[in-house]
Amino acid sequence: MTDIEKSATAGKHVVRARRIRFAYPDGSLDRHFVDGDLVMSHVIAQLSATFPEGEDFFVRSVRHYADRITDPELKAQVQGFIGQEVTHGREHRALNDRLNRMGYPTRFIDRRTRVDLKLFERVLSPLTCLAITAALEHFTAVFAETLLTDERAQALLGSTEVRSMLLWHAIEESEHRAVAFDVYRAVGGTERRRIVTMRVIRATFTLSVAFFAALSLLGDRATYNPVRLLRSLNRLRHSPFLSRRVLSRLFAYTQRGFHPDDSDNAALLARWTAELFGEQGVLVDHLH
């Protein structure tokens, strides 16, 4: 075991996939399912549309190096990471099918995401793909932990099945937030490549979200109500997902010596594991 692997896995928690299913019967979701908010509904829908292909890319990037990991704890976490990400992709495909029937262009975004990620794999090295995975995992973990810690963010999702699914997704993103990062370090990824990759991803991710959300909005008649659109854009400016704290955590990644576990999430995971999957957990009936 290398010194990097030892330091990376010290005190880590178990990462394991949960066998879980969600359902979205016709009529169970309002057209603008995020608290009736026009823009946020389209932002969440387009993000969901990118997840299945994104999760598959993450799995391939990490699995490429799995046989080079010698530390048994990190090996176990890699297996848990893969199981969780495969399940995330499957459940987001189910949600995306429902959103597509509601008029969101999730199938188009899914296809576009597949083409883009396949291009990355053709022109970039496996180590750079792993660095991209670690960078995007930081984004998802920061947004996931914002959902788990900020009541304003939770309130946006009401009491729908989407809320349940995103809370489950969020807790698992928080559980495995450091796995791709630790694999990257364990196989010799440099700080320079990690930081440069994040700087590029930070710009391209933001542009991608804006582009696909705008594309989605253009297909919604409600977008052409200027009062509603402006009110929704104003709400977006004050979104808990765009707070100074969130932006600070996102930018922390480009500091030398950064590690995802610099912020302690043990209490957060314990609280939500009990709330969702404890003896009286609200999602116990979703487990299989």
Task: Say what the pLDDT of residue 12 is.
Answer: 59
Residue 111, in any domain of the structure: yes
Tens of pLDDT, residue by residue over 148-182, are 999 999 999 988 999 999 999 999 999 999 999 99
pLDDT (0 to 100) of residue 35? 93
* Mean pLDDT, residues 174-196 taken together: 98
Residues 92 and 151 sit within 8 Å (Cβ to Cβ): no
Helix (H, G, I), strand (E, B) or coil at 20: strand
Asked whether residue 287 is assigned to any structural domain, the reply reads no
Please, which pLDDT band fits residue 29 given cuts at 50, 70 and 90?
A: very high
DSSP string, 204-254: HHHHHHHHHHHHHHHT-GGGG-HHHHHHHHHHHHT-GGGSHHHHHHHHHTT
20 domain-assigned: no
* Number of domains, the chain: 1
151, two tokens: 């009541």
- Distance, first Cα to last Cα, the chain: 36
Residue 202 lies in a domain: yes
Residue 266 CA to residue 174 CA, distance in Å, equals 10
Query: pTM of the predicted model, to two decimals?
Result: 0.93
Distance CA 256, CA 271 (A): 31
The pLDDT > 70 percentage for the chain reads: 95
Encoded tokens for 232: 């929704």
The whole-angstrom separation of Cα 165 and Cα 3 is 37
pLDDT, tens digit (0-9, with 9 covering 90-100), for 65-81: 999 999 999 999 999 99
* pLDDT tens digits, one per residue of 76-118: 999 999 999 999 999 999 999 999 999 999 999 999 999 999 9
Judge whether 119 lies within some domain. yes
Q: What is the DSSP string of 187-216?
A: TT--HHHHHHHHHHHHHHHHHHHHHHHHHH
**pLDDT of 215-228, one tens digit each?**
999 999 999 999 99
10 Å Cβ neighbour count for 238? 9
C-alpha to C-alpha distance for 102 and 94, rounded to whole angstroms: 13
- What was the pLDDT predicted at 40? 97
Report the distance separating Cα 64 and Cα 77, nearest Å: 15
Q: How far is CA 255 from the centre of its chain?
A: 21
Average pLDDT over all residues of the chain: 94
pLDDT of 49 > 80? The answer is yes
Domain that includes residue 152, residue range: 38-260
**Residue 148 within a domain:** yes
Is residue 22 in some structural domain? no
Query: CA Rg, the chain, in Å?
Result: 19
Asked, for residue 266, whether it belongs to a domain, the answer is: no
Query: What CATH number does the domain containing 150 carry?
Result: 1.20.1260
CA proximity to 120, closest of 178, 193, 61, 67: 61
